[in-house]
Chain A
Amino acid sequence: MVAMEEEMIVELVKKSISSPQLDGLKVPKAVQIANVSKWFGSFQVLRNVSVDVAVGERVVVCGPSGSGKSTLIRCINQLEKHQQGRIVVNGAELTPGMKGLAAVRRDVGMVFQQFNLFPHLTVLENCTLALVRARKLKRGEAEQVAMQNLERVRIVEQAGKYPRQLSGGQQQRVAIARALCMKPRIMLFDEPTSALDPEMVKEVLDVMTGLANEGMTMICVTHEMGFAREVADRVVFMDGGEIIEQATPSRFFSHPEHDRTKKFLSQILH
């Protein structure tokens, strides 16, 4: 029975790939991006991009640098503001100057390439800060939640340390725990392993794989194609601000359709 449900979901997801603007599908949408364009000054960085992500889906976004992939996911929590089109996150539409933006952001977790841990706070305090101030938890409760999540990323013994005392891989895992503490419904990853030394990439990818296996909705910008193959439900390839191609990993890597995709893959996978 589980296999049948899985097949149904895969079919529905496939349908949503080919017609992203269909409303009323049975699978709830975590993120809906419709005809989004964005300019930095006169330079157009996103060109009429449309893509949806279903709840529980794991999407990897890849592409050459300058393709707009980081900008796209930063639009999802409005760190960048789109100028045209619609973005709906967890049912709420993102508009400029909207009042509930902080509330939307609490449900969307983000992990940055540069970790962005707060250097003046300990690991534990990094995790509890938003819990206490944004979710209004009491200190004791917040610390419990924090410790649970630090346990989840296997770094609980460093709770009292400061970020500068940790390695890059450890810091990034703390950053993931910090985002998880807020119990987000969607996790965004912006090249989470690009700033890490090679030997630390695996520990972070393992944590992300574990999260994926627990059913977290994930949108991940990364160059780690092994991770994409193993974990992603769908790979989205962007270039020059547009989505060129998207497919399941098996199809994407073995039968890419467009020339630009092929070129990118040949450069990445040598």
Chain B
Amino acid sequence: MNFDFAFAMRIVPLVLEGIGNTILVAILSFIGATVLGFCWEIVRRSHWMLRPIAQFIIDAIRSTPALVQIYFLFFVLPYYGIVLPAMFVGIFGLSFYYSGYISEVFKAGIDAVPAGQGEAAESLGLSWADTVILVIAPQMLRNIAAPLGAYSIGILKSTPILAVIAVPEMLGSALDVASETYRYAEPMIVAGLLFLLLALIAAACVAALERRLGLVSQSH
């Protein structure tokens, strides 16, 4: 067996150097994806003519790999003179990719609020704005909390893709160590285990956050 445990332990801190960026990219991409996803869903519902267009864009985003979308942005933008730091491109790319999925979450969350809720609010004479803000939205938020939490973890696990465009996150740090020492097994396994640990911790945090905020779904 050619696996050097001692060496693996030694490089853990080196690989961990990238964790700050990993988390930063994940959070920013999640925010971007949620905002964009929400916008897509608003556009989709706003006008009957925009519906198929928005739906096509959402489906197209979900039909191509994130890696390829990132490559596209990274190589095509400079061609038109738009030169951005790799991290920007990466965050924008991940936001755009996941916005397609998150718009579906919003769609399901809104659709899951029974039509009778809006009818009851209207019957009481509440304005449209009050109906949406006080009756529909709180129920929608409870519906989307769990899927959004799941996607946040998914985004976190996708950040290492950005290593291919030289964003200095954890996988990138591991690859650096590997290329300097010509040993690939140890850095890759260390990276793998660290990412697993990170994902599990993040999942636990998200679950705790949902419980704290009382965002458990109201369905009975």
Are chains A and B touching in the complex at the 8 Å CB cutoff? yes
Q: Residues on A close to B: CB < 8 A? A: 77, 79, 102-103, 105-106, 108-110, 112, 114, 116-120, 129-130, 133-135, 164, 175, 178-179, 182
Segment from B65-73, B116-124, B202-210 that makes contact with A: B116-124
Asked if B139 and A102 make an inter-chain contact with CB atoms under 8 angstroms apart, the answer reads no
Q: A79-B119, A112-B116, A112-B119 are in contact. Are A120 and B124 (CB under 8 A)?
A: no
| Selected A-B contacts with CB under 8 Å, 17 pairs | A102-B126, A105-B125, A106-B124, A110-B123, A112-B119, A114-B114, A114-B116, A116-B116, A116-B119, A116-B120, A118-B139, A120-B138, A130-B124, A134-B126, A164-B220, A179-B124, A182-B125
- Contact-residue size bin, chain B (C-beta under 8 Å from the other chain): 20 to 34
Measured CA separation A201–B145 after assembly (Å): 36
Contact of B120 among A106, A108, A112, A135 (CB under 8 A): A112
- Contact B142 A129, beta carbon cutoff 8 Å: no
Among listed B52-60, B83-91, B127-135, B148-156, interface-contacting one: B127-135
Q: Using A105-B124, A114-B114, A134-B125 as known contacts, say yes or no to A129 and B220 having CB atoms under 8 A apart.
A: no
- What chain B residues lie within 8 Å of A103 (beta carbons)? 125
Q: How far is the CA of A105 from the CA of B142 in the complex (A)?
A: 28
Chain A CB within 8 A of B63 CB: no
CB distance from B41 to the nearest CB of A (A): 21
A127 to B: closest C-beta gap in Å: 10
Contact assessment for A79 and B123 in the assembled complex, using a CB-CB cutoff below 8 Å = yes
Complex formed: what's the CA distance from A135 to B130 in Å? 12
Are B126 and A129 in contact, CB atoms less than 8 angstroms apart?
A: yes
- Nearest B-chain residue to A129, judged by Cβ: B134
**Chain B residues in 8 Å Cβ range of A135:** 125
Nearest neighbor of B139 in chain A, beta-carbon distance: A120
List residues of chain B with CB within 8 A of the CB of A129. Answer: 124, 126, 134-135
Give Cα distance in the complex from A105 to B114, angstroms: 20
Q: Choose from B114, B126, B134, B142 the contact partner of A116 (Cβ within 8 Å).
A: B114
Q: A72 vs B151: C-alpha distance in the bound complex, in angstroms? A: 45
Chain B interface residues toward A at CB < 8 A? 114, 116-117, 119-127, 130, 134-135, 138-139, 142, 218, 220
Contact of A134 among B116, B124, B138, B139 (CB under 8 A): B124
Check A120–B142 contact: CB distance below 8 A.
yes
Q: Residue B125 contacts which of A102, A112, A117, A119 (CB distance < 8 angstroms)?
A: A102
A179 to B117, CA, bound (A): 14
- CB of B54 to closest CB in A, whole Å: 25
Contact B122 A79 (CB under 8 A): yes
Q: B125 contacts which chain A residues (CB < 8 A)? A: 102-103, 105-106, 130, 134-135, 182
Q: How long is the Cα–Cα vector from A116 to B139 in the complex, in angstroms?
A: 13
| Inter-chain contacts of A178 with B (CB < 8 A) | 124
Closest CB in chain A relative to B210 CB, distance in Å: 15
Q: What's the minimum C-beta distance from A202 to chain B, rounded to whole angstroms?
A: 24
Once the chains are docked, how many angstroms separate the CA of A105 from the CA of B138?
23
In contact, B142 and A118 (Cβ under 8 angstroms): no
Complex interface: chain B residues within 8 A of A133 (CB): 126-127, 130, 134
How distant is A186 from chain B, measured CB to nearest CB, in Å? 12
Known: A79-B119, A112-B119, A114-B116. A119 touches B218 (CB 8 A): yes
Does B123 lie within 8 Å of A77, measured CB to CB? yes
